[in-house]
Structure 1
Amino acid sequence: MGNLNSKRMRFFMALNAVIIITFIYASFSMKEIVPRRHVHSVRGFPMHHRIEQNIASKINSRNSSKNQGSTIGNNQHTGSSKKPERKAVSLLHSNIEAFPSISADSNELPEIVDIKTIMEIQPTVSSTTGRGSSSEQTSNGSSALPVLTPVLTMTLYEPGHLNEEIDIKRICMHRGVFLRLLILITSAQSHFSARMSIRQTWMHYGSRRDVGMAFVLGRTTNVALNESLNKENYIYGDMIRGNFIDSYFNLTLKTISMLEWADTHCPSAKFILKTDDDMFINVPKLLGFIDARYKSERAIYGRLAKNWKPVRAGRSKYYVSHKLYTGLQYPPFTTGPAYLLTGDIVHELYVESLNTFYMHLEDVFITGIVARTLKIKRVEANAFRNSRIALSPCKIRNVISVHMIKPSEQYHLWRDLLDSTIKFEPHSILQ
């Protein structure tokens, strides 16, 4: 009887031990599988910790499988040129605070962008698909996020440039003391053909002692594209690259980067033209325009837009929420494809823009809102067309800027501009 009781006691002790061990093991497992509930903060913008975990795990798996990475600035990113291009993601929807959703089961990982492009990330995130696209995109076709609530630009902008291969002495010798005109051309990173067509046509005027020219770009997280840009800049030395992800919603950051570079490296330039890589610029006509206004101060010249109202349709890439801009119409501004700044306002525009609430419409922001605060004149100049016009030699010779020009068309316009044998019909000359 005593022996039976002893066996029962040993059995129950063993059973209790198994139960305790099982309970302890389950407790430790739950700590690993239950996500934390608190919200993680990145530079003041909230993001679920689970999203960060998923991104980190996918980065690690990609790194281990491809063993490929790129260091850009102070941040490491990964990318692959063999990855098929995905359609652009529209992030502006009337009732959606949009950010690409990331699930643990998904095989797709959006391009990992610099933390400064995470402008506004809401606790609830959704995946959206849009019809619109931009000529300025990140390397895999996905747009950077728009600002959805007011935030000072200085919290988004990272100063500095990747200037290792820039030929500053050729672009702006002696900090612009002898420079009548500095032309800075904003360009999308993948637009190599556009840059080459400009280099081989009207950018030849940059060889003049009194004219400087350069392209302005942002960062890319695509390794192959970044290497291509490094090689291109090693050859030509004319690409200013700022510390922001190149995308449509970062166009204002690109223009601020342009202002910072001009203010830092070329503060004595008399005039600065901001233009895009799909523009034809009649440089002789522009130099004549400058000569007639050489004593001008604190002014912006271009195609003046008056009484323009904010677009409130959520699917438009020009959408601006009531939170970002409460007014019924924008202040007068010069349209973005090309406008001319007097050199004495560059520093003020740069500093004031950082202390102004961000808006991705760079022409409205810089030449409208910021310029109005600084009491800078915006002056209508009819020679800035900033639109597609008939590309006849007579009309081209009488304008400063023409928009929506294909790389192949740059050569034809350049030839027509220089060909002195072309005879004009009096009625065809643009007044």
Structure 2
Amino acid sequence: MSATRVRLGLRANLAQFSLLVVVNALVGGMVGQEQTVLPLLAEREFHLAGYTVLLTYVLVFGLSKAATNYFAGTWSDRFGRKPVLIAGWLIAIPVPVMLIWADHWGWIVAANLLLGINQGLTWSTTVIMKVDLVGPRQRGLAMGFNEAAGYGAVAITSALAGYLAEQYGLRPTPFLLGAAYVVLALVLSTLAVRETREHARLEASQPQSGSFTGQHTDLTNRQVLVRTTFTDPALSSASQAGLINNLNFGLSWGLFPLLFASAGLAVDQVGILVALYPAVWGIGQLATGALSDRWGRKHLITTGMLVQATALTLIAIVGTFPAWAIATALLGAGTAMVYPTLLAAIGDVAHPGWRARSVGVYRLWRDSGYAAGAVLGGIVADIWDLRAAVWAAAALSLASGISVALRMYETHPRTDRRPIDHIGDTS
């Protein structure tokens, strides 16, 4: 791509940005096809005993996605964003088939291993590409759209899969959704998506580049890992908050359907409750991402973690459909405050020269939360009960919010009010 044609800003790259929003919706839909159905499939068709055993698929998904996130950032810098995106969709091809035809739980676990790799490569890459396109002023807005599309699709597909399972059975119909998503996403990623690495290079070349001034641009992979995990208070705070956030999501994925079903709710009602959490989460990010560009990142992250703690406490206490609907909606609202804002904070602090790798490290820790949620939720539920597992997640969310409030600094360079839409436009 010629340097004279590269421009930063949402308006200048609206077509490609919108296309990437659609692709990320398909990424989220791959998770949504499982959320309502798999926990019930584990109990009713595979007759699994013990919550820890049941949550093996969430554990494997979380570990494979977390590890792949790290490599997605490194490979995006080395080979480009688009090849990594296409590779992620190629890996997803067998997943719906395995879920439909599995006659042993091991095949379900194997499908989720591949699904985790798919999610790590595709979701990480769409995040990186959107940040590349919009430049520094609109990162929160960009991440709001990205995450809203992904988790909105999780919600819609979860509800639709629950309806299809109630009407036509747990298999195969709900998983045909995933098969359609893979085909469409692979076509779009191959034929329509364009490489965005030159946009990051353009931003890095701009003089006086805001919060990046004076930063080293040639950090090693190890230095990026240490800085994002431990030494930078904002990057490391984002990493731990992201981990706890996805611990909550991983626990909800594996245990919420069982908790709701234990109260006698029908499968379609369980599907609605399971979908309500990511629905509010997804829609809310359209507002919270943009608000973080105006108000800053730290206070939204702190508030969001505390709201999640409150919502989980309610879920552990109540036991009816209306009460759970309120609680899961509140959980979605708290997550919406946190999710795009954490990614925007990483983009604020990390120099474009190593930003993709820092995003990969952050997402490594954030998506380790799936595995942590599976282990914590399974062990606590087996020792005590399902509600005790939710109480444990509430306590961790409270501790995370307090840690962010005490340690994280504000990352958003709000003093720089220059218009960004025409940076790099040499026409």
Which TM-score band applies after superposition, normalised by the shorter structure? under 0.3
Greater gyration radius: 1
Larger % of helix: which?
A: 2
Give the strand-richer structure, 1 or 2: 1
Larger relative contact order, structure 1 or 2 (CA cutoff 8 Å, min sep 6): 2
TM score, norm. by length of structure 2:
0.25
TM-score normalised by length of structure 1: 0.25
